[in-house]
Amino acid sequence: MSPLLFFFLVLPLLLESKAKAIEAGDNCSLITHQITGKIGGVINYSSRLGKEQKVAMEMAVEDYFRSSCSKQLTLQLEDSGGDSSRVASATTELISSKQVQSIMGAMTAQETGLFSEVDMNMKNIPIISLTSPAITPPSMAHQLPYFLQMSSHITLHMQCIVDIVGHFKWRKVTALYEHKNGFSAYSGIITLLSDKLKVVNSEISYHSDLSSLFRNKYGSKYPEEEEYSNPSIFALRAYDATWAIARAMEKSQGKITSNELSGNILSSNFEGLSGTMRFENNVLWQSPSFQIINVVGNSYRVMAVWSPKFGFSQSEEKYNGATANGSLKNLGPVYWPGGMPSTNPRGWAISDADIPLKIGVPAMGAFKQFVRVTFDQTQNATCVTGFTINVFEAVVKRLPYNLPYVLVPFYGTYDEMVEQVYRNGLDAAVGDTEIMADRFQYVEFSQPYVDSGLVMVVTQKAETSHATWMLKTFTKKLWLLMIAMHVFIGLLVWLIERGNNTEFDGIGTMLWFSVFPKGSPLAFDISEATLKVIESGELRQLEELLSSSNCTSRTTSIDTSSLGLEPFAGLFILSGTIAAFGSLVAIFRLGRNVHILSYIQTELTRRRIWRWASLQLSRKSSTKETSSTQAC
């Protein structure tokens, strides 16, 4: 390109820039009220994050001056060096010596609360924290009414990591972190991450603290990697924090007071570089969102966006109940190093080259259907079979990784086998081992694969009235048989006792009625695989194979709502036999009594006839004697 052509191309741009500068100067001359305020900042000059924040704060002051002609707005910065004591001294220097109206920087609520006990002026000045908090005591809002939290809570970052680990079901995690990163001053960040990982049944198996010297050495060897780097979210928030303080000062008329300045900052509501600037309860209102990127070679691709409210989503514009399902399954493949897109890392697993796990099985168990240990002479090997072994093999097939193992027969008691697992003599034990309190103190048990037989008895509201509920106790046949037996026995008793007992006056008075080691990652995986075997119906098939040769098929159905004749058949047979024998005795006695009564009746009749005949003869004889006497 010729110099002449370049001159004509650049000349219009220079003239337009000059015109805008003159116009801005004219506008500034018309403004009578200008901001006269001082903004303080405490940052770490030695960290990259501090350098980004320093540049962002300076740019914010310059940009705000161009938009509002605020020549009296100054920025006072102090270097903390990443040391809490220097943060306190730098803050005191800004408040006492340089008379700043507001401070922003890398100070936490705990540090500010501690420093305010020494310097009471710190309680009366707005302080904006650019550090992500880990723990925010609830009393800080009353102790520091002018303390504002600009960064998101560090637990949200931890939750995003935990959701990714839980999605891929990684049981062990290696954590690499930088101790002095300027991101958070919380020293127990690894402990916090470990507690969060326990929710998804994962743990940190190894962690390493990368020294800050690594970044310095890396930057000296590869300067091109740092030359064109973009500012981080923390630099953008430092820029927006500076604008929020400047806008709050502009709203103040006359002398700027801490109460008025803090109220103006809290009432901020504008779109900044990092998002919407608005506060609720002294904390930034907008919830953060994190991009999940997939690094592929020297490039990367954005897979999803994670937010605390919706989980994983394809984009920030689709945060709604219809599209944000909280899962990575429908967000495309993940390209892993050294593998195909469909091959996900299995996480913690046992290599095939490692020594297989020694799984102990009870060789002297009482129930051979569960575990049977035999010796095959043809193959010269010990064979372990049974229902428990079949279930264990089905569970191992459901694991997301390969699990090499060998079954070792254990010739001892169940307690001794559990003790061997506790003392690392065995890696695990499989069998019909009962879960007991004393065993649970030393080892972990997986999900039981057989029902325990325990039930819970609860009250149930009666569906019928209280007057007829007892009629549902027995079936109709049983009720009829009971009535017949009562009548029959009652008649028999009446028949036997009617001649001797005067109380039996009639039939109406007789009807009446009277083992894994503690902390083993296999425990959860085996339990999860066991549940899959149970839910898939495979365990039911194994149970049917176990019980098909030992149980006969049912030919009769049992009515569980009412009792029938079968439970009382023996009782009725016994009582019926006794009643029948009693009836025979009663009939025999009745027959004998009838014979005696007939004899008595015959004798009485005969005697009555003789008495009548004698009476008649005596009457006739007396009549004859009377007649003869009269004749004389």
Position 208 confidence tier, pLDDT thresholds 50, 70, 90:
confident
Judge contact between 87 and 111, C-beta under 8 A.
Answer: yes
**pLDDT higher than threshold 80 for residue 332:** no
Q: Cα–Cα distance between 483 and 34 in angstroms, integer? A: 109
Judge contact between 357 and 428, C-beta under 8 A.
Answer: yes
Q: Cα–Cα distance between 367 and 364 in angstroms, integer? A: 9
Structure tokens at 242: 């500076």
CA distances from 10 to 18, 216, 430, 514, 575 (A): 12, 40, 83, 117, 123
**How high is the pLDDT of residue 521?**
64
Mean pLDDT (the chain) is: 71
In the DSSP assignment, the letter for residue 363 is T
Bigger pLDDT: 82 or 175? 175
Domains with residue ranges and CATH for the chain: 31-153+231-284 (3.40.50.2300), 154-225+288-318 (3.40.50.2300), 357-445+518-533+536-545 (3.40.190.10), 471-514+565-597 (no CATH)
**pLDDT higher than threshold 60 for residue 6:** no
Task: Give me the mean pLDDT over the 537-560 stretch.
Answer: 57
CA distances from 426 to 358, 419, 488, 569 (A): 6, 9, 71, 55
Helix (H) or strand (E) holding 467, with range, is none
Task: Give me the mean pLDDT over the 473-479 stretch.
Answer: 74
Q: Cα–Cα distance between 209 and 16 in angstroms, integer? A: 53
**How high is the pLDDT of residue 620?**
65
pLDDT digits (tens, 9 = 90+) for 259-278: 788 888 888 888 888 778 88
Position 427 confidence tier, pLDDT thresholds 50, 70, 90:
confident
Residue 527 CB partners (closer than 8 Å, separation 6+): 446, 447
Give the strand pairing for 299-307 and 311-313: antiparallel
pLDDT digits (tens, 9 = 90+) for 485-543: 777 777 777 666 665 555 544 444 333 333 666 666 667 677 767 767 776 777 677 76
**pLDDT higher than threshold 80 for residue 128:** yes
Structure tokens at 358: 């020694």
Q: How far separated are the first and last CA of the chain, in Å rounded? A: 205
What pTM does this model have? 0.51
Helix and strand numbers, DSSP H then E, in the chain: 18, 21
**How high is the pLDDT of residue 501?**
56
Radius of gyration of the chain from its Cα atoms, rounded to whole angstroms: 50
In the DSSP assignment, the letter for residue 374 is E
Q: Smallest Cα–Cα separation from 158: which of 137, 140, 183, 180?
A: 183
- Beta bridge partner(s), residue 272: 275
**pLDDT higher than threshold 80 for residue 174:** yes
**How high is the pLDDT of residue 24?**
45
Bigger pLDDT: 258 or 500? 258
Task: Give me the mean pLDDT over the 121-138 stretch.
Answer: 71
Q: Cα–Cα distance between 245 and 359 in angstroms, integer? A: 66
Position 247 confidence tier, pLDDT thresholds 50, 70, 90:
confident
Task: Give me the mean pLDDT over the 560-586 stretch.
Answer: 71
Position 548 confidence tier, pLDDT thresholds 50, 70, 90:
low
**pLDDT higher than threshold 60 for residue 405:** yes
CA distances from 550 to 309, 553, 611 (A): 55, 10, 87
pLDDT digits (tens, 9 = 90+) for 55-86: 888 888 888 877 766 557 788 898 888 777 78
Other Cβ atoms less than 10 A from the Cβ of 201: the count is 17
